[in-house]
Amino acid sequence: MTTLEAVFEAVLEGDAESCRLLTERGIQEGLNPESILGEALIPAMREVGARFERQEYYVPEMLVAARAMQAGLTVLRPLLVERNFKPMAKVAIGTVRGDLHDIGKNLVGMMMEGAGLEVVDLGIDTPPERFVEAVRGGAQVVGMSALLTTTMMNMRLVIQALTEAGLRQQVKVIIGGAPLNGAFAEEIGADGYAPDASQAVSLVKGLLNLA
Ligand code: B1M
């Protein structure tokens, strides 16, 4: 079994310690962090989702798999994030109210930090008021994440709250998460949608006219 396959298996088995050690081994073997992420950790979580749909996995298995993935990410984080001295812009990101999924949101935050943006992480289950406060605190971009078809509807409430606070014109709003698409972004009045973390970075740079 290759190290990438072993990392994939460790996530499926929910074995956080092995996932961390195998991720470290992969780096020592010269694998680049993007490959470990894109060819082992993310596909493993996709497989966990598929098993959940087939009722082979239940919530506890999903939870331990997520912990294993996070353990791998702690190894990759410093390698993916190279902080620039002066951040180009401030982005506030959070998973919307009612939603506890944070792996994708954390990846987006990491990639943004790696691209020289300052990231304020509002966490999970974030009420609209916290996004509003973050914009009052100087965020030029609000990034919302949702993984559930039920909670994605709460994104609209955040945009409404920004509008009611008179802040909508001064902030760019971007959204992402598995059940979303560009049409939904348009429908709720967001400025853009990104299907993955690296496209989220390009989207922010494009919206703010950054190099
Ligand atoms: Co849940 N879950 N989950 N879950 N979970 C899904 C989302 C689900 C699709 C599984 C399935 O049925 N196949 C399903 C949703 C169905 C639906 O809404 N139609 C589901 C369900 C039903 C649930 C519960 C309701 C289960 C229950 O209790 N009966 C429950 C809800 C809890 C809640 O939130 N209120 C629940 C709970 C959980 C756990 C807590 C056990 C755990 C989350 C742990 C954690 O996040 N810390 C969990 C997990 C792990 C998953 C799956 C398996 C994996 C999600 C993940 O981390 N993917 C997921 C199945 C799946 O997605 N295939 C599933 C890896 C991650 C890197 O991808 O988050 O998509 P993703 O992020 C990507 C892009 O989407 C994008 O970039 C990221 C990186 O490329 N992106 C953005 C994300 N946010 C972005 C923001 C941006 C831009 C891009 O700009 C701001």
At 163, which CATH number? 3.40.50.280
Residues 53, 125, single domain; the answer is: no
Domain range enclosing 19: 3-82
pLDDT on residue 80: 80
Residues 56, 20, single domain; the answer is: yes
Residues 72, 138, single domain; the answer is: no
Compute the average pLDDT of residues 34-58. 91
* Distance from residue 103's CA to the centre of ligand 1 (Å): 8
- Whether 102 is in the pocket of ligand 1, judged by its Cβ within 6 Å, is yes
If one counts the domains in the chain, the total is: 2
- Full-model pTM: 0.87
Q: What is the mean pLDDT of the chain?
A: 93
Residues 114, 203, single domain; the answer is: yes
pLDDT on residue 31: 96
Nearest atom in ligand 1 to the alpha carbon of residue 95 is 84
* Distance from residue 209's CA to the centre of ligand 1 (Å): 31
- Whether 153 is in the pocket of ligand 1, judged by its Cβ within 6 Å, is no
Q: Where is pLDDT greater, at 24 or 84?
A: 24
pLDDT on residue 110: 80
- Whether 194 is in the pocket of ligand 1, judged by its Cβ within 6 Å, is yes
Residues 107, 186, single domain; the answer is: yes
Q: Are 140 and 167 in contact (CB under 8 A)?
A: no
Nearest atom in ligand 1 to the alpha carbon of residue 50 is 13
* Distance from residue 169's CA to the centre of ligand 1 (Å): 30
pLDDT per position as a tens digit, 145-193: 999 999 999 999 999 999 999 999 999 999 999 999 999 999 999 999 9
Tell me the C-alpha distance between 170 and 90, whole Å.
13
- Percentage of the chain exceeding pLDDT 90: 75
Residue 211 pLDDT exceeds 80 = no
Position 143, amino acid: G
Q: Is 137 exposed, middle or buried (0-12, 13-18, 19+ CB in 10 A)?
A: exposed
* Distance from residue 108's CA to the centre of ligand 1 (Å): 14
Residue 84 pLDDT exceeds 70 = no
- The pLDDT confidence band at residue 49, using thresholds 50, 70 and 90, is confident
